[in-house]
Structure 1
Amino acid sequence: MAELVEEAHAVPGVVSVLSAILARVAERNDAAGRPVSPRHLASAFRGLARPAISVRGYLERIFRYAGCSPACYVVAYIYLDRFARRHPAASFDSLNVHRFLITSVLTAVKFMDDICYNNAYFAKVGGISLMEMNHLEIDFLFSIGFELNVTPAIFSSYCSILQRELYLQSPPPPPPSTNLHCCLTEDGSSSRQQKQGAVQLIFFGT
């Protein structure tokens, strides 16, 4: 199991899997060519050109410099899903996904963490101006109806979604073959718990 324990500076699985999901959604919407109305809330997040940095590279940059807890990325995902559910006509694509990411993480950090960097710092991390960061935050809050509270049950359900996606992308290696006779039960529940524990290590990087 030692190979599953990530170093403190390593990128946790939740960052990798969230970036993979959003990159896939953005590519699909790029291919579909869904237009965004100038009057739509999503238009505030739309850039003029596709950023040179990938979605994964951008989210890893946020992770390296923002210093927020891994749980914030789960909450950011919840907020993005709330936006999508409230505004089904909008879509995440390569022209807006980066701004949605930095804004949703900023919002999640302020709700989740006791100590966090200010908007000016997040603007530098995200490569945008402070004025734009402030406007994006306000637009995002209004667009999700200031629905920021996340219950433990909702948090757990979204963790399960992300963990399942992570497991499909890179299933953890099986436990050592030695002493398996001591771990397995008749219904295999212990093996399932080991597998879930392995995924948890990768997911949060703990």
Structure 2
Amino acid sequence: MAELENPSLMPNLITYLSCLLQKVAESNDVNCRFQPQKVSVFHGLTRPTISIQSYLDRIYKYANCSPSCFIVAYIYLDRFAKKKPTLPINSFNVHRLLITSVMVAAKFMDDIYYNNAYYAKVGGISTIEMNYLEMDFLFGLGFHLNVAPNTFYTYFTYLQREIMLQPPPSIAESSLSLDRSLKVHLCFNEEESSHQNQQQLAV
């Protein structure tokens, strides 16, 4: 997709995704006091000292994956959050979910990618932990890794529009994700998007 080659897009995309995930994590940190949540392999004992923005910047700098990987990683996070409502994205797991989703996306999308040990080093975790995270993430997704072109385009155009037309999402918007995961920001699901595209093609 030609738009992804725009040199000004990726930094803005990284910043927007970082802010979005930060607000979602903060909202779910508050929510965990009122709703039971499971602890998974993605949870750290303490909140990482590195910010989500700096962490995603680091991944972007050193993972060397294609720009498309970050869109696909976002789609994977959305799917994971929807399939695992008792494991909401929060400050204790967002970093591990990020490095895992980008790594899985790179393996699925790119012809050339690094081994788990390299991504573990980028993410600041051990290779053994990276292996466990990858496996748990894949099972959490139900191994649903394929992203249809129309789904990719819909997510991409949504993000592109949000970046261009408005500032990063507010905490009020993000708080809605407590019950509806990240999908609230998209206002549709993949099945509806596919059906709508099919209708448009039929016209």
TM-score by length of 2: 0.74
Q: Which residue of structure 2 lines up, in the alignment, with residue 26 of structure 1?
A: 25
Q: Report SS of the residue matched to 1:49.
A: coil
Q: Deviations over 1:6-60 (max 9, x none)?
A: 47xx95322221111111100111122254224xxxx110000000100010000
Any conservation in 2 of the 1:14–1:74 contact (CA below 8 Å)?
Answer: no
1:143 paired to 2:144: no
Q: Deviations over 1:80-121 (max 9, x none)?
A: 111111112221000000000000000000011111111000
1:76 paired to 2:73: yes
* CA distance in 1 between partners of 2:43 and 2:95 (Å): 9
Q: Which residue of structure 1 lines up, in the alignment, with residue 37 of structure 2?
A: 36
* Greater C-alpha Rg: 1
Computed over aligned residues only, the root mean square deviation of the Cα atoms, in angstroms, reads: 1.7
Any conservation in 2 of the 1:14–1:70 contact (CA below 8 Å)?
Answer: no
* CA distance in 2 between partners of 1:131 and 1:90 (Å): 22
- In the TM superposition, structure 1's runs of 4+ consecutive aligned residues that sit over 4 Å from their partners are none
The letter for the 2-side match of 1:120 is: A
Aligned residues: 160
Any conservation in 2 of the 1:27–1:94 contact (CA below 8 Å)?
Answer: yes
- For structure 1, which runs of at least 5 residues remain unmatched after alignment? 171-206
Q: Which residue of structure 2 lines up, in the alignment, with residue 108 of structure 1?
A: 105
The letter for the 2-side match of 1:136 is: L
* CA distance in 1 between partners of 2:135 and 2:108 (Å): 14
Any conservation in 1 of the 2:59–2:99 contact (CA below 8 Å)?
Answer: yes
* CA distance in 2 between partners of 1:35 and 1:99 (Å): 21
* CA distance in 2 between partners of 1:84 and 1:130 (Å): 24
Any conservation in 2 of the 1:30–1:93 contact (CA below 8 Å)?
Answer: yes
Any conservation in 1 of the 2:80–2:140 contact (CA below 8 Å)?
Answer: yes
The letter for the 1-side match of 2:38 is: S
Percent identity between matched residues is 56
Q: Report SS of the residue matched to 1:115.
A: coil
* CA distance in 1 between partners of 2:7 and 2:155 (Å): 22
Any conservation in 2 of the 1:74–1:159 contact (CA below 8 Å)?
Answer: yes
Please give the residue correspondences for 1:154-173 in structure 2 after superposition, counting only pairs within 5 Å: 154-167=151-164, 168-169=166-167
* CA distance in 2 between partners of 1:136 and 1:143 (Å): 10
Any conservation in 1 of the 2:36–2:86 contact (CA below 8 Å)?
Answer: no
Q: Deviations over 1:140-177 (max 9, x none)?
A: 0001000000011000111122112212128xxxxxxx
Q: Report SS of the residue matched to 1:138.
A: helix
The letter for the 1-side match of 2:37 is: V
Q: Report SS of the residue matched to 1:62.
A: helix
- For structure 2, which runs of at least 5 residues remain unmatched after alignment? 1-5, 169-203
Any conservation in 2 of the 1:11–1:60 contact (CA below 8 Å)?
Answer: no
Pick 1 or 2: higher relative contact order, CA cutoff 8 A, min separation 6.
1
The letter for the 2-side match of 1:37 is: K
